[in-house]
Structure 1
Amino acid sequence: MNSPARIAVLASGRGSNLQCLLDGIGSGQLDARIVGVFSDKPGAAALDKVAPELRWASAPKDFDNREAFDQALADAVAACNPDWIICAGYMRILGTGFVERFNGRLINIHPSLLPLHKGLHTHARAIEAGDAEHGASVHFVVPELDAGAVLAQARVPVLPSDTPETLANRVLTVEHPLLLASVALLVTGRITEQDGEILCDGQSLLRPLRLDSAGVLVG
């Protein structure tokens, strides 16, 4: 019998996506265990969701340069021997060295329908662009910001009355089930990435999987 997948989580804030993974593990939806939570914000609420021995946090300003912080973070992540590293609300751009060290095992959830609206302030930008739909994407991380292969997406409508806050709240309702369903596929080996191409059950994924109303990823 296979051991549960080992997952490391990077988070900068309250940890709602981390809680989603913890809930999925607790309910049996996700055959995994959280082996470390890492943050660039020592006061991040996400850290409080796991036992003290699973926490690592340090402020980048305490290091001589960006590369030194990334090296310390990467060494700490590697020490817990994760199968997967999930960026779940991690707001700092990861350097090339970090990304390449964990190539093919590093996943991010981004609040937009990539390739639209890479980077920050995605909800405001979707409204300003007049988008009819918005949503969230789960993708493999590459050195270029939010440019890795997308494995799954969830969509929500953009309403005429929306503000960035109301739209963000609507996206959050699909973001959590999207992340849980995506990680569940990853840990079983059904989803892999090869040279920038997503494979699902060994077949090339021509477009991202989508989250249906039951919280299931479909082609």
Structure 2
Amino acid sequence: MALLSPLPPSPWPRFSEPLKLAVLASGNGSNLEAIATAIAQGDLHAQVQVVIYNNPKAKVAERAERLGLPKVLLNHRHYPSREALDQDIISTVQAHGADWVIMAGWMRCVTQVLIDAFPGKVLNIHPSLLPSFPGIHAVDQALAAGVKVSGCTVHHVELKVDSGPIIIQAVVPVLPDDTPDTLQARIQVQEHRIYPAAIALAASQMA
């Protein structure tokens, strides 16, 4: 595997106070666990203040509970607009003392309301080498296009989906017999590798 962007120098940057993270997730939460593991190992100087999830059946809730992390359900179906949901996200993030919003499999488009509340501090991870294959079903898009490499990207969030400045990318080869599941699994290994490092790098760039 290869990186298209260098990881921060080892040890990763440390700050006078740990970064205060709010993690947004809609699914299994494997990237949440990768971030929590990096924190526990002392690689990422941060704390997960709250896990926000929008799907009542999301496995991330069980993972957050096992990790001893506060969790809050904000079911998007109960909101009249995306802006209303984002306003509640902002209130929840602030109430838990966080100031970084880490989208880790958050399957909702965010609005300028959220982006403006945490300028430069809203990050996302996407399973492709952006700007190629933004949006949903990125792995399927890559296989359909017949590319020889794919990968993942951590980037700052802007209003246009998957368009913000890139922080770190990792490359994964596409094998001749790959299926969406097998390629996704190899990409996810790299997601777990680069997301904690990208958080540290993004914070160091703002220091």
Fold similarity call, TM over 0.5: yes
Percent sequence identity over aligned pairs: 37
Q: So what's the TM-score if we normalise by structure 2? A: 0.86
| Structure 1 CA distance for aligned equivalents of residues 16 and 124 of structure 2 | 25
2:177 corresponds, among 145, 158, 161, to 161
Residue of structure 2 equivalent to 1:57: 73
1:78 Cα deviation after fit: 2.2
1:135 corresponds, among 151, 156, 166, to 151
Residue of structure 2 equivalent to 1:150: 166
Alignment of 1:29-178 (within 5 A): 29-50=43-64, 54-178=70-194
SS in 1 for 2:120: coil
Distance 1:118 1:90, change over 3 A: same
Read off the aligned partner of 1:108 and give its amino acid letter. N
Q: Deviations over 1:66-89 (max 9, x none)?
A: 322221122111222323211001
Structure showing the higher strand proportion among its residues: 1
Whether the aligned pair in 2 keeps the contact of 1:29 and 1:184 (CA below 8 Å) is no
1:16 corresponds, among 23, 30, 33, to 30
| Structure 1 CA distance for aligned equivalents of residues 69 and 189 of structure 2 | 31
Whether the aligned pair in 1 keeps the contact of 2:49 and 2:69 (CA below 8 Å) is no
SS in 2 for 1:17: helix
CA RMSD between the two structures: 1.8
1:39 Cα deviation after fit: 1.0
Higher relative contact order (CA 8 A, sep 6+): 2
* Structure 1 unaligned blocks of 5 or more: 193-200, 202-219
